């Protein structure tokens, strides 16, 4: 074991600067509580001796000594206060293999079986089994599940599936899940499509940017799936599942059209960074009027100007219930991050289609003027991005970015050189230099926000973005960062210091995991 006593006083000095230690107090009841923690978390020398720990364990031992906590993997349920600095990551017990081109490089947590059921749930190999045996029909299912899971039975009873209006038969549990309780099926879109043919067709016809490409294309092939450990990508899956399952929009077991007409239905996924559609709509007059009175409207009626005071998401993006949500799209620009003149002649038809929607309540000239304002605001946002990128490129060409690509851990394809040519590399937004990340944000977070703000007529966001005049703010940060990098480099050059990126850019407990697939090979 390391001699860490000499370091103890200095480390002890630092630690409480940083973490929140609620149990520090002179009152006796807390002192006593602290003792208990010490007793139950004595340094586990056995575990450390067993050599089950990664690389350099000095840091963990220092922390363990200081905090009186255990070193190493701890699945005992002990609470490690102050951020758990002494223990380390053990990882999930069971992982399911990845899919697609890079399937051999990543894994999924078991929760994937609910998100991609056709492949991971209904597939024999991964079928999780069931504790109940036998074949059952709907009435039998309902009898049991009225007790076992009363909520879904109630919801199903509220749905059209339980009381069809047009003479069709009841769509019961067994219709979608099968009869054999040992081989229950989790339905994907194809099962729903057996009855809802037109909707399925619309859903599947969408090109890039549509729901039909959200999982296999956007997430599996192009998304963060290959860049991140399984533990982090579950949340991504939650939304990208919309390709596979209809209950992304019509939640089970009401499968309600009324629900999907409300902006809240879309908002589960279309909100938050990069996907601010909901927030932008909600800021607009349309959204504020919806917020002020929407719950008093009769949502069972079709979305049109006769029935609704203001449009909702589906009113504009799914006219007549068209389930191809990009039918109305002018041009695919990856969340607005590609520069394009949406007012160009070649987009006349789609622009006119938009104006026809606005014309329910606005003059065509009003609509055109606002669409032009969107075009110009978005184009201007790219001007700021180019000003920033010119500065970043200049730094790069003079070898002044810290760290330069060679100073980083390799990417998920094993390269330190990136390329636009297929298969030669990939984009990265993690573990890069600060200035590169700032430039990335200026494009993907802020231009995206401006586009979505203007297209939904949000009021404060096109001005401010995330922060007051966000792009201007980022431009200041980029110039400031470039100034510092250049000044420091000039100084180093003059006094003969040859700087190279510090090793923490190449390696670290998390950074190693990020590329874990590669290191395992």
Q: Which of residues 196-225 bind its own copies (CB under 8 A)?
A: 208, 218, 221-222
C-alpha dihedral, 434 to 439 to 440 to 445, nearest 10°: 110
Smallest distance, its own copies to C-beta of residue 463, A = 4
Among 117, 172, 202, 425, binds its own copies (CB under 8 A): 425
> Does the footprint of its own copies cover residue 85 (CB under 8 A)?
yes
Full 3-state SS string of 234-302 = HHHHHHHHHHCCHHHCCCCCCCCHHHHHCHHHHHCCCCCCCCCHHHHHHHCHHHHHHHHHHHHCCCCCC
Q: Quick count: other Cβ atoms within 10 Å of Cβ 209?
A: 18
SS3 (DSSP) at 96: strand
Region from 42-50, 188-196, 319-327, 422-430 binding its own copies, contact rule CB under 8 A: 422-430
Smallest distance, its own copies to C-beta of residue 202, A = 21
Among 236, 257, 328, 329, binds its own copies (CB under 8 A): 236
> Does the footprint of its own copies cover residue 324 (CB under 8 A)?
no
- Among 15, 13, 70, 11, smallest CA distance to 38 is for 70
> Applying CB under 8 A, what is the total number of residues that bind its own copies?
214
Pick 197 or 352: Cβ nearer its own copies = 352
Among 179, 204, 362, 518, binds its own copies (CB under 8 A): 362
Which H or E run includes 368?
helix 364-397
Pick 52 or 148: Cβ nearer its own copies = 148
Task: Please give the residues from 103 up to 132 whose contact with its own copies meets the rule CB under 8 A.
Answer: 109-111, 113-114, 128
Among 267, 321, 410, 518, binds its own copies (CB under 8 A): 267
Full 3-state SS string of 173-222 = HHHHHCCEHHHCCCCCHHHHHCCCHHHHHHHHHCCCCCHHHCCHHHHHHC
Of the CA atoms within 13 Å of residue 199, those in its CB half-sphere come to 15
**Running DSSP on this structure, what letter comes out for residue 51?**
T
Task: Please give the residues from 375 up to 414 whose contact with its own copies meets the rule CB under 8 A.
Answer: 376-377, 379-380, 382-387, 389-393, 396-397, 401-403, 405
179 to each of 62, 135, 183, 185, 475, how far by Cα in Å? 58, 5, 8, 9, 61
Task: Please give the residues from 159 up to 198 whose contact with its own copies meets the rule CB under 8 A.
Answer: none
Burial of 453 per CB tally in 10 Å (0-12, 13-18, 19+): buried
121 to each of 99, 238, 249, how far by Cα in Å? 14, 16, 21
Region from 167-175, 187-195, 319-327, 452-460 binding its own copies, contact rule CB under 8 A: 452-460
Region from 78-86, 135-143, 166-174, 197-205 binding its own copies, contact rule CB under 8 A: 78-86
**Are 130 and 184 spatial neighbours (Cβ–Cβ below 8 Å)?**
yes
Among 200, 443, 449, 515, binds its own copies (CB under 8 A): 443
Task: Please give the residues from 340 up to 359 whose contact with its own copies meets the rule CB under 8 A.
Answer: 340-342, 344-347, 359
- Among 312, 468, 453, smallest CA distance to 378 is for 453
Smallest distance, its own copies to C-beta of residue 324, A = 19
Pick 198 or 415: Cβ nearer its own copies = 415
Region from 42-50, 166-174, 189-197, 364-372 binding its own copies, contact rule CB under 8 A: 364-372
Pick 196 or 288: Cβ nearer its own copies = 288
Rg, C-alpha atoms of the chain: 28
**Are 2 and 58 spatial neighbours (Cβ–Cβ below 8 Å)?**
yes
Among 11, 118, 144, 257, binds its own copies (CB under 8 A): 11
Residues facing residue 96 across a β-bridge: 108
Smallest distance, its own copies to C-beta of residue 512, A = 9
Smallest distance, its own copies to C-beta of residue 519, A = 15
Among 47, 142, 144, 152, binds its own copies (CB under 8 A): 152
Task: Please give the residues from 32 up to 61 whose contact with its own copies meets the rule CB under 8 A.
Answer: 34, 59
The dihedral built from the CA positions of residue 490, 491, 495 and 500, taken in this order, carries a sign that is negative
Burial of 374 per CB tally in 10 Å (0-12, 13-18, 19+): buried
Task: Please give the residues from 458 up to 517 whose contact with its own copies meets the rule CB under 8 A.
Answer: 459-464, 466-469, 472-473, 475-477, 479-480, 482-484, 486-488, 490-492, 494-495, 497, 499, 501-502, 504-505, 508-511, 513
Smallest distance, its own copies to C-beta of residue 321, A = 18
Pick 167 or 236: Cβ nearer its own copies = 236
């Amino acid at each position: 074991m390391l001699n860490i006593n000499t370091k103890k006083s200095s480390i002890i000095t630092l630690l409480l600067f940083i973490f929140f230690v609620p149990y520090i107090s002179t009152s006796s009841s807390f002192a006593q509580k602290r003792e208990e923690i010490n007793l139950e978390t004595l340094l586990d020398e056995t575990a450390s001796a067993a050599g089950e720990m990664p690389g350099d364990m000095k840091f963990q031992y220092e922390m363990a000594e200081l905090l009186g906590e255990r070193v190493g993997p701890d699945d005992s349920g002990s609470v490690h206060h102050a951020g758990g600095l002494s223990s380390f990551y053990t990882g999930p017990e069971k992982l399911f293999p990845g899919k697609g081109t890079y399937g051999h490089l990543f894994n999924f947590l078991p929760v994937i079986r609910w998100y991609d059921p056709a492949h991971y749930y209904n597939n024999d190999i991964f079928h999780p089994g069931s504790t109940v045996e036998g074949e059952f029909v709907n009435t039998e299912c309902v009898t049991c599940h009225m007790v076992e899971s009363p909520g879904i039975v109630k919801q199903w009873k509220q749905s059209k599936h339980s009381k069809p209006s047009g003479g069709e038969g009841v769509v019961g549990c067994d219709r979608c899940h099968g009869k054999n309780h040992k081989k229950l099926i989790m339905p994907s879109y194809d099962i729903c499509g057996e009855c809802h043919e037109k909707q399925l067709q619309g859903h599947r016809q969408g090109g890039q940017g549509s729901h039909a490409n959200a999982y296999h294309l956007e997430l599996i092939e192009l998304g963060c799936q290959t860049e991140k450990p399984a533990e982090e990508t579950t949340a991504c899956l939650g939304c990208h599942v919309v390709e596979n399952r209809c209950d992304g929009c019509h939640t089970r077991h009401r499968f309600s059209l009324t629900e999907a007409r409300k902006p809240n239905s879309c908002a589960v996924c279309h909100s938050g960074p990069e996907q601010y559609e909901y927030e932008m709509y909600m800021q607009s007059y349309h959204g504020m009027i919806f917020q002020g009175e929407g719950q008093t409207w009769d949502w069972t009626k079709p979305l049109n100007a006769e029935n609704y005071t203001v449009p909702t998401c589906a009113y504009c993006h799914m006219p007549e219930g068209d389930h191809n949500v990009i039918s109305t799209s002018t041009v695919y620009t990856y969340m607005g991050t590609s520069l394009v003149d949406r007012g160009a002649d070649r987009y006349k038809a789609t622009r006119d289609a938009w104006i026809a929607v606005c014309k329910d309540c606005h003059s065509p000239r009003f609509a055109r003027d606002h669409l032009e304002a969107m075009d110009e605001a978005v184009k201007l946002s790219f001007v700021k991005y180019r000003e920033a990128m010119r500065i970043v490129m200049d730094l790069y060409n003079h070898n002044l970015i810290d760290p330069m690509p060679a100073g980083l851990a390799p990417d998920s394809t094993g390269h330190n050189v990136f390329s636009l040519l297929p298969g030669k590399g990939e984009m990265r937004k993690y573990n890069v230099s600060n200035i590169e990340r700032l430039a990335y944000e200026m494009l993907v977070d802020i231009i995206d926000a401006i586009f979505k703000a203007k297209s939904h007529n949000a009021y404060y966001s096109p001005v401010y973005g995330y922060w007051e005049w966000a792009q201007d703010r980022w431009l200041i940060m980029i110039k400031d960062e470039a100034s510092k990098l250049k000044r420091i480099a000039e100084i180093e050059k003059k006094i003969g210091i040859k700087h190279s990126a510090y090793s923490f850019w190449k390696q670290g407990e998390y950074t190693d995991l990020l590329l874990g697939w590669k290191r395992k090979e």
